[in-house]
Structure 1
Amino acid sequence: MSRVGKMPVAVPQGVDVAISADKITVKGANGTLVRDLNPLVTIKNEAGKLSFVPVDDTAAADAMSGTMRALVANMVHGVAKSFEKKLTLVGVGFRAQAQGQKLNLQIGFSHPVVKEMPEGVKVATPTQTEIVISGADRQRVGQIASEVRAFRPPEPYKGKGIRYADERVILKETKKK
């Protein structure tokens, strides 16, 4: 059995988990997440701990038990505490401004770039050069952060662009005469 799949997921106070025939629903303070269940994995809720058991002894069922455990653990963490990605703008005149569910970026183009945030994802700008994207769904938060970064990824000569807060950009040496 998968090592990850063997570990139970603890359900914290204030989080409700409902398991139906083909879906699992996790409700908490930060929203509700729903995921389809895989037929190769059985989920049991025993006194606030979720356990994931493969249906048979195949390698696919074993691997899927670990995958489902990780996905459900992320759902439980997301509705309880929320996920967060931090981005930093590096460059002269680069600015970000959050207005409700929109993110306005001035990143060196002749026009401002506006990114609309989907349902369940919040954006904040503590300073003009910092962006904080947060939400309950880990995959969606990471995808939105990746899309914002893709507007102006860091270039390798000066390092200007949008980067993750913990990202290190390795600068290339310029051409010599």
Structure 2
Amino acid sequence: MASHIGKLPVAIPAGVEVSIEGQQFSAKGPKGSDSYVIPEGITGSVEGADIVLTASDDERPTRARHGLSRSIIAGMVQGVHQGYTKSLDIIGTGYRAQLKGKSVEFSLGYSHTITVNPPEGIEFELPSANQILVKGTDKQIVGQVAANIRRLRPPEPYKGKGIKYTDERIRRKAGKAGK
């Protein structure tokens, strides 16, 4: 019995080149290229405009990796075709970001500024001084870089100041009751 998710084919969009050589999968598209080693016990093939993964045996670990591998490959195909973006908002008086070459310099109320350099394959975009976009082809790296930036000054529950995801909702607390 194979994984329900793993059995689903992955559609290859126009403009994306895919190759599977043994256990090595690679995808190349307009946004970049990426590769992945398919775990043992799972075989991949390109059938028409789809990628199909099949699990060779019914062992539980292979079934679990079957669905995971399919999800990773689907994410890679989407990443090289469209890319991924995480949007962060900077909230607070005097809190801002500015682009310095490829890196971003943050003023977050500390006695010093904080500079964040992008890892390979990631780029920063600042539509305004209070918003930052993290863009790239690898979903996991885009999410991790955005989480690392958010961790510089997490949003606090009393005034809502800090760095938050654009779609994140901060639960506010009531302050100390005055007499």
Alignment TM-score, normalising by the size of structure 1: 0.96
Amino acid of the structure 2 residue aligned with 1:9: V
Amino acid of the structure 1 residue aligned with 2:83: S
1:152-177 deviation digits (Å, cap 9, x = unpaired):
00011111000000000001121225
Matches of 1:150 and 1:130, distance apart in 2: 15
CA RMSD of aligned residues (A): 1.0
What is the DSSP-based 3-state SS (H/G/I as helix, E as strand, rest coil) of the residue aligned with 2:128? coil
Matches of 2:100 and 2:18, distance apart in 1: 34
Amino acid of the structure 2 residue aligned with 1:153: P
Amino acid of the structure 1 residue aligned with 2:169: R
Q: Which residue of 2 aligns with 1:135?
A: 136
Percent identity, aligned pairs only, is: 38
Alignment of 1:41-120 (within 5 A): 41-120=42-121
Q: Which runs of 5+ in 1 are unaligned?
A: none
Matches of 2:168 and 2:41, distance apart in 1: 37
1:115-146 deviation digits (Å, cap 9, x = unpaired):
00011101000011000001000000000000
Amino acid of the structure 2 residue aligned with 1:8: P
Q: Which runs of 5+ in 2 are unaligned?
A: none
Matches of 1:100 and 1:20, distance apart in 2: 39
Matches of 2:25 and 2:77, distance apart in 1: 11
1:54-108 deviation digits (Å, cap 9, x = unpaired):
1101122112111000000000000000000000001001111123320111111
1:5-46 deviation digits (Å, cap 9, x = unpaired):
121001111111111223211111111101111002111110
What is the DSSP-based 3-state SS (H/G/I as helix, E as strand, rest coil) of the residue aligned with 1:134? strand
What is the DSSP-based 3-state SS (H/G/I as helix, E as strand, rest coil) of the residue aligned with 2:145? helix
Matches of 2:110 and 2:29, distance apart in 1: 41
Matches of 1:38 and 1:100, distance apart in 2: 39
Alignment TM-score, normalising by the size of structure 2: 0.95
Matches of 1:52 and 1:13, distance apart in 2: 20
Contact 1:40–1:64 under 8 Å retained in 2: no
Matches of 2:132 and 2:84, distance apart in 1: 14
Q: Which residue of 2 aligns with 1:39?
A: 40
What is the DSSP-based 3-state SS (H/G/I as helix, E as strand, rest coil) of the residue aligned with 1:44? strand
Amino acid of the structure 2 residue aligned with 1:77: Q
Contact 2:12–2:50 under 8 Å retained in 1: yes
Matches of 1:98 and 1:2, distance apart in 2: 45
Matches of 2:6 and 2:128, distance apart in 1: 41
What is the DSSP-based 3-state SS (H/G/I as helix, E as strand, rest coil) of the residue aligned with 1:86? strand
